[in-house]
Structure 1
Amino acid sequence: MTKDVIALTSEMPDSRALLAGLHAGGPELGVTTAADDAVIQLCTPGGRPLVSVEAPVIVHTPGEAERLLGTQATFPDVPFWWTEARASTAVPEAESLAGSFCGRLVLLLGGTTWPADAATIQVVRTPDEPDGHDVTPRPAPDGALPAVDVLTDSTAVVLIDRPVIALTAWLSDVLRAAVGSGRALHIVTPPHARLSQPLRTALTGPPNRWVVQDPDCGYYDGLSGAVLRWQDGTFAPALDQHGEATLAAAFASSEPPAEHQLTVSFRCHHAPDADLLLGRSLETAWHHLTGTAPAGWGTAEPINLPWSPRQLTALARDRAPEPSHLLAVGRPDRPALATLRVARTESGVTEDVTLSLGHSADEPPPFHTIDSLAEELVAQHGLSTMLITLRRARHDLTVPAHLEGPPIPVSFTLGPADVQAVGLDHARRPPLPLRPTPLGPATVPALHYHLGDGTNPDAWDDLGTLTRHLRNS
């Protein structure tokens, strides 16, 4: 696996500290930049990339290092600077070089490294070409950051070994570049690795894959469990004699946990308004379900900025008319993660929010707050639709490489404009043994449909019947 080393420093890496780190391989190594100068590469005299160093990011959000790197180490108090060095797999000495780069930053600036035992300050000598072979690396697609481990005509392969594989700025750029060049992105990890929810959302299925390299059963898809093999320059399902994909034993071997995840997915529509403040609907949902506001927001992981709807709105305005994809995270003692997509429409602005909360086995989900949440989103934030589901899954909101419980619907809410479009009489009389709760003014209400407590899979049949009824008005 490609080795990443991260320097978490109390002070900002300035030019003096970066130069000291870049001399970790001695004066013979070359330095280049990539990704509009956001990445520095240490290269052999022959031009082979050895270590790619990303621009430092300041992290103001408590708990992000522990969420993504584990709790085994002691990390600096916020704010701290997060600097990643990614070692190439092509040269064995590159891992030590990345460790020496980060170790020098920590020596000068204070802090720690991850992994803790990776830090050194020694000079690492690297050959121009490993083992005497003349290998010329293929160029990455235009716009891609460096350190893709394998590049074929159809697939970009990245090998990563971390406790949690996150949607970092680098990985997000690699995904965009792979899609832009017509390639799939395949992320290969050991079986103990888990995905963050934002990365799981970004990997929307084939041709992109999470590939798990298991010592007992080979390669399999970490999200579907399908056994994979490398063929024709990509990972593809290994078919049985009947032409069907087979399920890896390691994927199905674990029982779903007793913990739960409550997921709230909703859309709000706003009329054009120069004073519109985005993120307030998400903040409202967070308050109803956790009692606090989000702790931080950002465009990638680690989620690094203190929560601020005004700053979030300013970024979305700067990016318009292109949509903005943003992330939010809760406090360390209350696992919560959200994705927020802001997009312009012909009639205004939409916010698509997916908020997930983790609950331990002995912690009941906050069902008692759902009705009041729906009512406030209708009254204050232009709610269009909202679906709430519950599933048995890890309360830390990470995605393991084995089977977890499916989500089960709890409730569905239809906003007043959509109720009017369907017809109030039609919308309030679905062919089900339930009647919705009206929210808001009696003449133009929203309708809130209770579907269950998240334990009966038949709720999916009820939701399907309801949505077909609403579409066939």
Structure 2
Amino acid sequence: MGPSFAPHPLEDGAGPGWSATETRAPVIALTAGMSDYLHRVTGDGARAIVISGPHSRMTPVLADALAAVRGHWVIRTPEDPAAVGYDARTGRRLAQITDVLSTTAQLAASDLHPVFLRAPISSRLQLVATISTRHRVSRPVRLGGVIEAATETLVDSAPSAWGPTEPLVAAWDRDDLTERTRRRMPTESRWAARASADHALLSTLQVARTSEGLEETTRVWAELGGPGDARTADAALFARRLLARAADIGMPLLGIAFATIGAPDLAVRPLTPATPEPLALLVGPPGIRALGVDAASWVAQHGGTVVGSPRIPGALVPLGSVDGGGWTRLTEMLGTLDGTRLSALLGVAPEVAAALRTADADAAASSAAPAAPSSPRPGSEA
């Protein structure tokens, strides 16, 4: 696709390799207009920058889409004479908006904007999972199975609505989702879904055609509860149940689930993230093959359960709890692999590997920020 000659209606500024849109909306969502803007910008070979004030929040659906196109969210801070704003992801002070396009190897606490270090007004425990599944095109395929498994497992409900953009208003229909995805092939499809339940749940679905078949990457954000809620104590159990369900859908590749702290509505705030805690890891048959091990032997070595088909099994390994221990266990487990096998394992499902790297970056950001909570325990803060 060649460069567009007319700027997009949402474009408020542009330069070589970038385009920016600025909004004062309290909630920034993947509306039809925003989706079209991101498609236009990326089609032109540029990177999108979404600019807002410090009190705006972004839906997980838009945050996921923005990350997929290597875009950025910048918080403008006009009261700060030393910086025009900061990177909502890392908290890095920005002398100019386009500085967000450059990377910094490691941030010190002095590099972080003080607004980024504000404590949230209230917090809830969330379960966040990324699961990659492969489907053979030689067999009938119904997409969205992991979304249904997640809503049933985490909020005891069925998905209520879905669509390509927000608000999500179409009644949930796996067959319709599958057919619309099929018609778009070989173009990649991205969808989102939500559940109407006592606890908020959102999910996104990315479907791409590969040489191996259809690869379906599902991301889930689910609110588990606040202080004193019995559900929060069962976070690790919820994670294992979800990944066990996913192990029986299609050909599971990789899956990982974390506990973290967030807002009741699941929206992303431009504040220091809490340290995400790994709860459970699913390694499907292709991952087991990449490791060059026997599933039963690997489970015996690291603990866990053999899951999936008895003929081509995978492994479900518990990691930590909301009280910690997950990063240590994950590091110990992956640390036994040589570089070739580790690369092969992560290469089985690049989207899950990216989620793991993002969580690791969030953990690093939390450690750099003195005000960040050290473990995903829900609570209220001033």
TM-score by length of 1: 0.62
Distance 2:68 2:115 in 1: 20
- Which of residues 171, 192, 200 in structure 1 aligns to 2:55? 192
- Which of residues 173, 176, 195 in structure 1 aligns to 2:36? 173
Q: 1:143 to 1:466 in 2, by over 3 A?
A: farther
Distance 2:94 2:101 in 1: 4
Shift in Å, 1:189: 1.1
Whether 2:318 is the aligned partner of 1:450: answer yes
The residue identity in structure 2 corresponding to 1:227 is R
Q: Which residue of structure 2 lines up, in the alignment, with residue 162 of structure 1? A: 25
Moved more, 366-375 or 285-294: 366-375
SS of the residue aligned with 2:67? coil
Identity between Structure 1 and Structure 2 (%): 25
Shift in Å, 1:262: 0.3
Q: Which residue of structure 1 lines up, in the alignment, with residue 285 of structure 2? A: 416
Moved more, 310-319 or 277-286: 277-286
User: Residues 249-398 of structure 1 correspond to what in structure 2 (within 5 A)?
Assistant: 249-254=114-119, 257-273=122-138, 275-331=140-196, 333-362=198-227, 363=229, 364-365=231-232, 366-367=234-235, 368-398=237-267
SS of the residue aligned with 2:322? coil
Q: Which residue of structure 2 lines up, in the alignment, with residue 147 of structure 1? A: 10
CA deviation vs aligned residue, 1:153-204 (integer Å, no higher than 9, x gap): 3432211111210111211221222223233322221211001112212332
Q: Comparing both chains, which one has the higher relative contact order based on Cα–Cα distances under 8 Å and sequence gaps of 6 or more?
A: 2
Distance 1:424 1:407 in 2: 29
Q: Which residue of structure 2 lines up, in the alignment, with residue 84 of structure 1? A: none
Q: Tell me, which stretches of 5 or more residues in structure 1 are unaligned?
A: 1-139
Q: Which residue of structure 2 lines up, in the alignment, with residue 226 of structure 1? A: 92
SS of the residue aligned with 2:282? strand
Give the root-mean-square deviation of aligned CA atoms.
Answer: 3.2
Q: How many residues matched?
A: 328
Shift in Å, 1:273: 4.1
Distance 1:238 1:269 in 2: 34
CA deviation vs aligned residue, 1:315-340 (integer Å, no higher than 9, x gap): 10010111111111111632111110
Q: Which residue of structure 2 lines up, in the alignment, with residue 462 of structure 1? A: 329
User: Residues 71-86 of structure 1 correspond to what in structure 2 (within 5 A)?
Assistant: none
Distance 1:216 1:428 in 2: 59
Whether 2:46 is the aligned partner of 1:183: answer yes
| Conserved 8 A contact 1:357-1:395 | no
Q: 1:261 to 1:389 in 2, by over 3 A?
A: same
SS of the residue aligned with 2:247? helix
Shift in Å, 1:354: 0.6
Whether 2:294 is the aligned partner of 1:428: answer no
Q: 1:346 to 1:224 in 2, by over 3 A?
A: same
Shift in Å, 1:464: 3.2
User: Residues 1-150 of structure 1 correspond to what in structure 2 (within 5 A)?
Assistant: 141-142=4-5, 145-150=8-13
Q: Tell me, which stretches of 5 or more residues in structure 2 are unaligned?
A: 345-382
| Conserved 8 A contact 2:162-2:169 | yes
CA deviation vs aligned residue, 1:378-414 (integer Å, no higher than 9, x gap): 2343222211100112121111121120321000011
Q: 1:344 to 1:208 in 2, by over 3 A?
A: closer
| Conserved 8 A contact 1:144-1:178 | no
Q: 1:211 to 1:270 in 2, by over 3 A?
A: same
| Conserved 8 A contact 1:356-1:397 | yes
- Which of residues 51, 74, 82 in structure 2 aligns to 1:211? 74
Shift in Å, 1:142: 4.5
SS of the residue aligned with 1:204? helix
TM-score by length of 2: 0.76
SS of the residue aligned with 2:154? helix
The residue identity in structure 1 corresponding to 2:57 is R
The residue identity in structure 2 corresponding to 1:324 is S
